[in-house]
């Protein structure tokens, strides 16, 4: 079994096919998982998604000296990757990706969902120049896709090539995957699971509830 599997219904989706990832996700989903444990599980999945989504980065080297001799050692390509969090829930992933890529540049896009239209409304864009960089966009729940499509447009407007963007999400809904694929067919979405549907309130079912509320310890 490959560690990353193509989703049969969505050619641009990649699902982490690993038993440890599946088990951690189950623990994350459980209603009564305490906040501290929820954060630890999210950190594990963030790093798993980070590793899976960067497997195809161009190889590079840099000179170093070990205690014994000099060598050309493997390294991430330059310019360094960019990590973009969709606020606030995206911080649950992006904060842990920095452990893997400490030289990454960071950006944030702040969006909230209009309760009547369910569409994304922007309140913050803080992005560096993204030209020439691989970009990891972090949002743990891909529901309708409205917020993510809005974020992806901001990322492209700041210089990123669509083919250089990877989306990292813990759970995706089919509706969101379809919307992202239609708007940005070159963008690949990495996820731990594709759930069955959205309900009438645009919540992913079976899902895990509000990822941001559960991660930050606010009422949910």
Q: In this structure, what CATH number is given to the domain that contains residue 38? A: 3.40.50.2020
How many structural domains is the chain composed of? 1
**pLDDT at residue 120, rounded to an integer:** 73
**pLDDT at residue 105, rounded to an integer:** 97
Is residue 194 in a domain?
Answer: yes
Nearest-angstrom CA–CA distance, 119 and 116: 8
Find out whether 16 and 24 touch, Cβ atoms under 8 Å: no
pLDDT digits (tens, 9 = 90+) for 87-96: 989 999 999 9
**pLDDT at residue 2, rounded to an integer:** 57
- Average of pLDDT values for 22-31? 97
Is residue 151 in a domain?
Answer: yes
Range of the domain at 148: 4-57+77-216
Confidence of residue 202 (pLDDT cuts 50, 70, 90): confident
pLDDT digits (tens, 9 = 90+) for 103-126: 999 999 998 777 777 677 788 999
Which backbone phi and psi does 86 adopt, to 5 degrees?
A: -85, 110
- The bridge status of strand 10-16 relative to strand 4-7 is antiparallel
Which backbone phi and psi does 92 adopt, to 5 degrees?
A: -60, -25
CB atoms inside a 10 Å sphere around CB 120: 19
Is residue 63 in a domain?
Answer: no
Helix 19-29 and helix 35-53, axial crossing angle in degrees, nearest 10: 150
**Short-list 112, 130, 129, CA closest to 121:** 112
Is residue 64 in a domain?
Answer: no
Cβ-based neighbours of 130, under 8 Å, separated by 6 or more? 82, 107, 155, 158, 159, 160
Nearest-angstrom CA–CA distance, 62 and 21: 32
Is residue 71 in a domain?
Answer: no
pLDDT digits (tens, 9 = 90+) for 159-183: 999 999 999 999 999 999 999 999 9
CB atoms inside a 10 Å sphere around CB 202: 14
- pTM of structure: 0.93
As a whole number, the mean pLDDT across the chain is: 93
CB atoms inside a 10 Å sphere around CB 6: 13
Is residue 67 in a domain?
Answer: no
Is residue 88 in a domain?
Answer: yes
Is residue 66 in a domain?
Answer: no
């Amino acid at each position: 079994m490959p560690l990353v599997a193509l989703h049969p219904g969505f050619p641009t989706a990649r699902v982490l096919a690993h038993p440890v990832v599946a088990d951690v996700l189950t623990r994350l989903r459980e209603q009564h998982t305490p906040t501290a444990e929820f954060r630890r599980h999210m950190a594990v999945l963030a790093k798993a998604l980070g590793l899976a989504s960067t497997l195809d980065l161009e190889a590079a080297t840099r000179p170093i000296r070990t205690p014994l001799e000099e060598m050309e050692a493997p390294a991430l390509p330059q310019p360094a990757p960019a990590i973009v969090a969709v606020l606030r829930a995206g911080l649950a992933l992006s904060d842990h990706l920095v452990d893997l890529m400490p030289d990454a540049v960071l950006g944030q896009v702040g969006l909230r969902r209009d309760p009547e239209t369910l569409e994304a409304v922007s309140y913050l864009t803080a992005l560096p120049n993204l030209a020439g960089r691989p970009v990891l966009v972090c949002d743990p729940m891909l529901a309708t896709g409205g917020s993510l499509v809005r974020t992806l447009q901001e990322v492209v407007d700041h210089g990123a090539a669509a083919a250089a963007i990877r989306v990292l999400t813990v759970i995706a809904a089919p509706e969101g995957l379809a919307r992202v694929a239609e708007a940005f067919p070159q963008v690949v979405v990495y996820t731990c699971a594709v759930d069955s549907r959205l309900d009438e309130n645009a919540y992913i079912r079976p899902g895990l509830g509000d990822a941001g509320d559960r991660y930050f310890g606010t009422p949910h």
